[in-house]
Structure 1
Amino acid sequence: MDQTATDRLKTALIALAIGGLVLGLVLQFSGFPDLARLAWTVGVVPVLLALLGEIIVSLQRGEVGLDIVAALSMAAALVAGETLAAAVVAVMYSGGTFLESFAEGRARREMHDLLSRVPRTATRHRNGGLEELPLEAVRPGDRLLIRQGDVVPVDGTVASDTAFVDTSALTGEPLPVRLRRDEEAMSGSTNAGDAFDLLATRRAEESTYAGIVRLVESAQRSKAPMSRLADKWSLGFLAVTVAIASAAWALTGDPIRAVAVLVVATPCPLILAVPVALVAGLSRAAHFGVLVKGSSPLETMARIKTLVLDKTGTLTEGSAQVVSIDRHLELPEAEILRLAASLDQVSKHPVAQAIVATARDRDLVLTVPQQVVEVPGDGVEGMVGNTHVIVGGHRFVERRIDGDGSDHPALAAGSVLVAVAVDGRLAGHIVMSDPLRGDAEAVLDGLRREGVNRILLATGDREQVARELTAGLGLDGIRAGLTPDQKVLVVLSERKGGPVMMVGDGVNDAPALAAADVGVAMGARGAAASAEAADVVLLVDELGRLVAGMEIARRARRIAVESVVVGIGLSVLAMIAAAFGYITPVQGAVFQEVIDVAVILNALRALRLNPRDIQARPHAAEAE
């Protein structure tokens, strides 16, 4: 049965139960008690039959669910002639399942927003005009027009001078983000400014948004381990309920006391509160850019004891960046960078593109170079205006200006040196490296506060580079020079200390992500393979979002446990009171459903969870 049919059935059942209860009360007060009992029975029977059907399906799967107690209470009340009590139980039980649907629908609202916003068509430039085409027909290299208010249909790069996009549905960023030419635009974001052109880099089914939708659908189909744990508790809870009811009947000879015990034991808190709390936690985590594939990973995140981190793109920024400029002439640093970036515009080398990006970030005006000659992997030379410029490795540049090769700064491990010559003279060196994330130390401290006892670095890079880069972070261990299968062994070996989380972003991290109890992928720039293998995807390129996700997971699980403990505790106390005759079946039914509503409302508190760590909060990107 699909979700729509299930929702309709739940609506019909609660309507019948309420209708029977109300009609019976009217008939009772009108002096027709026999018709009143008939109306209450008619309202109860459909709910009881539907419940018995669910129990049979559960037993066929080998599951002993808590629904058995609810069925026993209704059936016993009908047999004992306590039709009003049975009607109250039927109304409250069907109302509880209806409330579950409502609560989960509210909790998943942000995820449903993602699904409802999937674009179906795109507008493509073609032969000097525009054409509308199905989304699946878009191919890499197509130039698309993104109008104001349009959802970006596929991943691509901005082909206009600038673009403002709203990523709030994906990342929780409250303000639009400015993207410059050639910067990546993520599918699923919304154009918040003027129309711009987008150069498609992926097909629709391969784009970020399509992957997010698949993850959302996976999350919606999941069932949390705690829900299954509650089902396991059902056998013990059922035994306690039957024992108290049997003892009350045997010691007093009054079957009504046994009925009251069964009625007050209806276990809605266990059936409903746990999934409501965890699904609400999923929604809150998604709001902060942490997409969890299901309730199971969310529940496991709350128990993580060991964290294994990749280096490149996870603990570091993941791309070469200019960290300093060493001058040898009187030229200002900005001019050295401008000349180098102007020439590097023609190169596809990652280091060259990083220099260009840095120059544009600093608002330097670049010139189109002329007479360019590039030696792939070594360097490039040409004319920038009237200036002859050479950019490349130190030896490459020195050979072309007759230098002695000794005049260059000392390099830290993992750094890259780019020499720049101007009109036959060495103008300076641009020092580049993949720096540690600025918030790395604060993030690791935050993770330790969330219960992580052991943090390891697992990298394929050299050990010297790894140790120099992470000095002062207080890591519990460094494993360097690892192949993908060796990373898997690191994850598996750490399981002896408790659940293990692995965080990575590359294709080589995918096996370890799949092997970990919880795999976390840096999804903003990471490889598709790592996102597919992971249980959690960070939609924002900020490691701090992981702290937010773990805090939400821990607090949502605590709320779920509170709901279970309080619900069971109050139910047992009420059963004891009913056994001693202090609670009648009707009073027991009403009292139990008050407990149900209370614990479900408590579970809904997870919808309002906000991470305390400011590093992990949604933040406003600068909108220039």
Structure 2
Amino acid sequence: MNGPAPDGYRWLSKEPVIAGVALAAIATHLVLRFALDTGGTLLGFPTPAVPLLAALTVGGIPLVAGLVLRLVRLDFGSDLLAGISIVTAAVLGEYLAGTLVVLMLSGGQALEAYAVRRASSALLALARRMPSRAHRKRDGQVAEIALAEVVVGDLLVVFPHETCPVDAVVVEGHTTMDESYLTGEPYVLSKVVGSGVLSGAINGEGALTIRAEKTAVDSRYAKIMQVMRESEQRRPALRRLGDQLGAVYTPVAVAVALVAWAASGDALRFLAVLVVATPCPLLIGIPVAIIGSVSLAARRGIIIKDPAVLEKIDTCRTAIFDKTGTLTYGRPELTDVLPGEGFTKEDVLGAVASLERYSRHPLAAATVAAADDAGLAPAAAAEVSERPGEGLRGTIGGRAVQVTSRKKLVAQLPASAGLLPPLAGGLECVALIDGRYAATFRYRDEPRAEGKAFIGHLKPHHGFERVMLVSGDRESEVRYLAEKVGITEVHAGQSPEQKLALVREESRKAGTVFMGDGINDSPALTAATVGIAFGQGSDVTAEAAGAVILESSLERVDELLHIGKRMRAIALQTAIGGMALSLIGMVVAAAGYLPPVAGAVTQEVIDVLAVLNALRASLTPRVLTDYAS
């Protein structure tokens, strides 16, 4: 069964139960009719027919209710023939044929329900992280209040292992906080007085007193949730493969059935044609191919969160890459420390690393690692602050240390422009000590070794027409990477909201595959036709993406592209081949040589052939990738 369950099934949502009831009813009918040779009536019906009537009631009524609603909306899905067959069978008293159709339909829906995730799972993953209460401190007393009651300036206490409720600044205490939800990386950062804390971060062993700088609805975490919710609501509603085929097949089958009825004057001909025409290769074969491909992908370290990506990925024509952790390894390394006049490399590196231990910036870990490698012991830090637009500040060993960008330094101290080394590719930051320019730090997040070969592989082998690099990093670093891997279309300095807008715009033009790493990419991952997340990262990122590459490897992306293409080919073979056999059966039934029950059995044989073909999708092919780095 393709697409969401019909509306009539949503209130029941028990497809496996319906299939079990239908199967039990058929078995009971056969025992009563042949083994026990039961005669007589029950409730006015022949006794062997009663279990079939029960199955038709349990399985048919929800389907017919949903069918009527879909007809009102002019939504003609691939289950339309099955619904008409059930109604016609009940009217004509062909209860066995109708129950066989219920079994086929509910079995297909059970398979589909097994394969498809809920669309709201990303939002649920986000919502589960946030607390609903906060601990406000007033006049030395701590009271629990609703999160919505927090106002800017409130003093809040965050107990050990609690989630921080709002964006705030530490005013008392010393602990660590896990902010990995923001980046997808395992950032556990120290927090002291003056440190900023983010909503959604998980506190460590010590209690903190913080001053709220934003209300809960204005905090960064809430903004991410808002963008995610909007993206979820505006996600393209692409029609599923089976419904596309069913939209053509259904009117043809109904027309043949009506002609057979009109020519013969026998209503059973109408039912016989519809029963053998019921498109179970669409209802069952395609979900089996999808599930088999999901299983194959899992064995290759690719988790398919949304099976629809397998249908869509081969139709996408635009590939959009985030930079960090996708085309790079996501581990920047400090390559140079260029000290200013009057400073030594060791002096500046020790002071800056002592400050950077309290920063969440991706470059901070590289600085700290370089200082540790050099054997520089960290100095005591105080008054640490990392406010937007101001860089990182603090007092280290009695000296005022600031880490900022070249542009902000020149704006702050214009005379320092002549002291700075020439610009170079890669990442950099500058340091001031006691208000004087102290050093320039240069970093490099190296591109993946296979990046250039993979990018060159996309257009000729997978039909992509455009390849884009979209990143929040500065232009020089993004263009450096783009040149290394062979991408000419670059968008630098993009916020999560800007990434989302760009992906939405490109998705309106052509199908898009977006590849990213980290929760900041979650909105774009959700808005893309196909979203692929790299690495295990954050649970939220994994939920937002349609597929997750557990081993951060571009070769695995190529395998996913091939699995999707192969699944689509097998699904089309299954659907079109099955429909062709059904069309032959329809002609035989229209001529009067195939009664309804025999037609249902014939359709079951076609189903078996379709499922056997669809099962090929679960087998590992001899060649799964034609990409070599």
Question: TM-score under structure 1 normalisation?
Answer: 0.63
Residues 514 and 422 (structure 1), Cα distance of their counterparts in 2 relative to 1, 3 Å cut = closer
For the structure 1 residues 267 and 336, does the alpha-carbon distance in structure 2 shift closer, same or farther, using more than 3 Å as the test?
A: same
Instruction: Give the match's secondary structure for 1:323.
Output: strand
**1:122–1:144 CA contact under 8 A, matched in 2:** no
Matched residue, 2:81: 69
Alpha-carbon distance between aligned partners in 2 of 1:157 and 1:370, rounded to the nearest angstrom: 14
Q: How many angstroms apart in 2 are the aligned matches of 1:277 and 1:184?
A: 50
Of the three residues 215, 232, 244, the one matched with 2:247 is 232
1:145 corresponding residue in structure 2: 159
**1:455 alignment partner, SS class:** strand
Question: 1:337: how far off?
Answer: 0.6
Shift in alpha-carbon separation, 1:572–1:414, aligned structure 2, 3 A: closer
- Aligned partners of 2:377, 2:62: CA distance in 1, in Å? 72
- CA contact under 8 A between 2:354 and 2:396: conserved in structure 1? yes
Judge conservation of contact 1:343–1:369 (CA < 8 Å) in 2. yes
Q: What SS does the corresponding residue of 1:324 show, helix, strand or coil?
A: strand
> What letter corresponds to residue 29 of structure 2 in structure 1?
G
Match of 2:600 in 1: 589
* Pairing partner for 2:584 from 572, 576, 592: 576
Mapping of residues 20-419 of structure 1, within 5 Å: 20-29=25-34, 30-33=36-39, 35-36=46-47, 38-39=49-50, 42-43=53-54, 45-46=56-57, 47-74=59-86, 82-104=94-116, 114=125, 117=128, 120-122=131-133, 124=135, 126=137, 132-137=144-149, 142-147=156-161, 161-162=175-176, 177=186, 179-181=188-190, 207=221, 210=225, 214=229, 218=233, 224-235=239-250, 238=253, 242=257, 260-271=272-283, 274=286, 299-307=311-319, 322-326=334-338, 333-342=345-354, 357-362=365-370, 363=372, 364-368=376-380, 385=397, 409-412=421-424, 416=428, 418=430
Q: Is the 8 A contact 1:522 1:540 kept in 2?
A: yes
How big is the shift at 1:151? 7.0
1:524 aligns with 2:521: no
Cα distance in 2 for partners of 1:198, 1:558 equals 56
Corresponding residue for residue 542 of structure 2: none
Q: Contact between 1:119 and 1:153, CA under 8 Å: does it hold in 2?
A: yes
Partner AA of 2:26 in structure 1: L
Note the 1:499-518 alignment, pairs <5 A. Answer: 505-517=495-507, 518=512
Matching residue's letter, 1:21 = I
Contact kept in structure 2, 1:317 and 1:434, CA below 8 Å: no
Mapped to 2, the partners of 1:539 and 1:561 lie a distance apart of 25
Please identify, of 376-385 and 53-62, the stretch whose mean Cα deviation from structure 2 is larger: 376-385
Distance 2:142 2:453 in 1: 49
Equivalent pair of 1:420/1:430 in contact (CA under 8 Å): no
Deviations 1:315-340 (A, max 9, x none): 67999974312368998744431134
Segments of structure 1 that go 5 or more residues without pairing to the other structure are 485-503, 616-624
Which amino acid is the alignment partner of residue 440 of structure 2?
I
Moved more, 178-187 or 60-69: 178-187
Match of 1:565 among 543, 553, 573: 573
Cα distance, 1:436 vs. partner? 5.8
Q: 1:167 to 1:298 in 2, by over 3 A?
A: farther
Evaluate the alpha carbon distance shift between residue 454 and residue 103 of structure 1 in structure 2; reply closer, same or farther with a 3 A threshold. Answer: closer
Q: Secondary structure at the match of 2:518?
A: coil
Tell me how far 1:433 sits from its aligned partner.
Answer: 5.7
Give how far 1:268 is off. Answer: 3.0
**Identity among equivalent pairs (%):** 25
Give me the whole-angstrom Cα distance separating, in 2, the residues matched to 1:195 and 1:604: 54
1:395-432 deviations in Å (ceiling 9; x for gaps): 9999xxxx9998875442576574778999x9x74343
Contact 1:224 1:295 in 2 (8 A): no
Match of 1:432 among 429, 442, 455: 442
Quote the offset at 1:596 in angstroms.
Answer: 4.6
Give the corresponding residue for 2:464: 452
Q: Residue 472 of structure 1: CA displacement?
A: 3.7
CA RMSD of aligned residues (A): 6.4
**Correspondence 1:540-559 to 2 at 5 A:** 552=560, 555-556=563-564, 558-559=566-567
Amino acid at match of 1:238: A
Change beyond 3 A, Cα 1:196–1:204: same
Match 2:482 to one of 460, 470, 477: 470
Structure 2 CA distance for partners of 1:559 and 1:458, relative to 1, 3 Å: closer
Deviation at 1:63, TM superposition (A): 2.9
Q: Distance in 2 between matches of 1:459 and 1:238?
A: 51
Whether the 8 Å CA contact 1:303–1:554 is kept in 2: the answer is no
Give the conservation status (yes or no) of the 8 Å contact 2:286–2:614.
yes
Pair 1:290–1:464, CA change in 2 (3 A): same
Deviation at 1:52, TM superposition (A): 3.7
Q: For residues 142 and 9 of structure 1, do their structure 2 counterparts lie closer, same or farther at Cα, with a shift above 3 Å needed?
A: same
Query: Which residue of the partner structure matches residue 11 of structure 2?
Result: 6
SS of residue paired to 1:32:
coil
The residue that corresponds to 2:540 in the other structure is none
Q: Deviations over 1:66-121 (max 9, x none)?
A: 3342245445656776543333223333343344434446x889769838945554
> Deviation at 1:12?
7.5
Query: Which residue identity does 1:367 align to in structure 2?
Result: A
How far apart in 2 are the matches of 1:601 and 1:256?
31
Deviations 1:541-587 (A, max 9, x none): 99968886785476346425523431441353255368289976445
Instruction: Summarize the Cα distance change of 1:357–1:312 in structure 2 as closer, same or farther, 3 Å threshold.
Output: closer
Partner-residue secondary structure (3-state), 1:181: strand
1:267 to partner: Cα distance: 1.5
SS of structure 1 residue aligned to 2:504: helix
